[in-house]
Amino acid sequence: MLTKTGRIIAIIMLSVLLTACGANKEMVETPAGIHLERGRNYKEVIEDFEDKGFTNIKTETIPDLVYGKSFRNGEVEQISVGGDTSYDTGVRVPADTEVIIRYHTYSQKSIDDAEAKEKEKAAADEESKEE
């Protein structure tokens, strides 16, 4: 059985060990808040997070644009930092915190439709050259 002094020393040693384990996580600060990042190109936003030291950055597309009728391709709509979609600038979090950047892109149907129209136009141009 440990004496009172022995218990105190054991508790102090355990506390030091636990504190040291927790201190190994590298902390980084979030770049500009979502209100400043929304509307920017997703590649620039990824660079902002990488420059700050984030290591777990993912992207998700929002395929809602019509090819040829929208100029918002790649525009950021939402960013989640550790599940928080309304984070502020300079919040300190572990470097491996999951960051998800959601951005607008063209739907596959609109791309397919544009390609089909381009083929039709090319065929019509070729036909008119033959006449």
Q: Name, in order, each residue with C-beta under 8 angstroms of 79's C-beta and a sequence gap of 6 or more.
A: 34, 37, 38, 45, 85, 87, 99, 100, 101, 102
pLDDT digits (tens, 9 = 90+) for 69-86: 878 999 999 999 999 999
pLDDT digits (tens, 9 = 90+) for 6-53: 566 656 664 554 444 555 589 999 998 888 999 999 999 999 999 999
CA nearest to 26, candidates 99, 93, 100: 93
* pTM for this prediction: 0.70
- The span from the CA of 49 to the CA of 34, in Å, is 12
Residue 8 confidence (pLDDT): 60
Query: In the chain, where does DSSP find H-type helix?
Result: 4-22, 34-37, 42-52, 108-130
Please determine, looking at this structure, whether the domain spanning 26-130 carries the CATH number 3.30.10.20. Answer: yes
Domain ranges of the chain: 26-130
